[in-house]
Chain A
Amino acid sequence: QKEVEQNSGPLSVPEGAIASLNCTYSDRGSQSFFWYRQYSGKSPELIMSIYSNGDKEDGRFTAQLNKASQYVSLLIRDSQPSDSATYLCAVRSNNDMRFGAGTRLTVKP
């Protein structure tokens, strides 16, 4: 069974703070890792992809991957109210991609 686990939250941070989102996965053969954002009633949209151990930064977002610990995280710096959404961790093995249940983030003005 290929499991992707996330803390469902809700996670609440004040505007300007750092939001930290975590994800673990069960399949050691997983090859690529993604963070998607989903607004209520909308489809997932890609924020970041990461394929190798370490950090990857893109603007206010940093993804971190540790394959030995089967752990991937997303940091959002200078959080804005518009970042309020559900953040989905997705893990690909071969030709399927599985999602975690998502963490609901609220950024309070």
Chain B
Amino acid sequence: EPEVTQTPSHQVTQMGQEVILRCVPISNHLYFYWYRQILGQKVEFLVSFYNNEISEKSEIFDDQFSVERPDGSNFTLKIRSTKLEDSAMYFCASKDRTSGYTGELFFGEGSRLTVL
């Protein structure tokens, strides 16, 4: 069964360092998402991406964050200068070409980021 894959599964970094989290969405999917979940808290929407541009972003997704689809398969989340409060599990998700409001999101297993 096709799945969303994320790397790394766990990354430890020093405050102020740049981090790139990588995702390979399901191959025929067109919509891509990043979410984060701070330990013990809710899953929070960060950004959605379609047709090579951001389509929606939340108030969390500030100038420290950026997303990119550098080739036909990868979808990355970059955090420019990490802060302690960026420590969380980051989930990538993708959705197929079903247009509009239907269609489920398929989630990857997550990348745990620990900022020291």
Q: Which residues of A contact B (CB under 8 A)?
A: 31-32, 34, 38, 42-46, 49, 51, 88, 92, 94-102
Q: Which residues of B contact A (CB under 8 A)?
A: 31, 33, 35, 41-45, 48, 50, 55-56, 58, 91, 100-102, 104-105, 107-110
Closest-CB distance, B53 to chain A (whole angstroms): 11
Known A43-B108, A43-B110; contact A51-B41, beta-carbon cutoff 8 A = no
User: Is B45 touching A99 in the complex (CB atoms < 8 A)?
Assistant: yes
Known A96-B58, A97-B33, A99-B43; contact A34-B48, beta-carbon cutoff 8 A = no
Q: Give the distance in Å from the alpha carbon of A102 to the alpha carbon of B40 in the complex.
A: 10
8 contacts between A and B (CB under 8 A): A31-B101, A34-B105, A46-B105, A49-B102, A96-B33, A99-B42, A101-B41, A101-B42
Q: Give the distance in Å from the alpha carbon of A92 to the alpha carbon of B55 in the complex.
A: 13
- Residues of B contacting A32 in the complex (Cβ-Cβ under 8 angstroms): 101-102
User: Is B43 touching A44 in the complex (CB atoms < 8 A)?
Assistant: yes
- Residues of B contacting A100 in the complex (Cβ-Cβ under 8 angstroms): 42
User: Is B48 touching A44 in the complex (CB atoms < 8 A)?
Assistant: no
CB-nearest residue of chain B to A49: B104
Q: Give the distance in Å from the alpha carbon of A99 to the alpha carbon of B35 in the complex.
A: 10
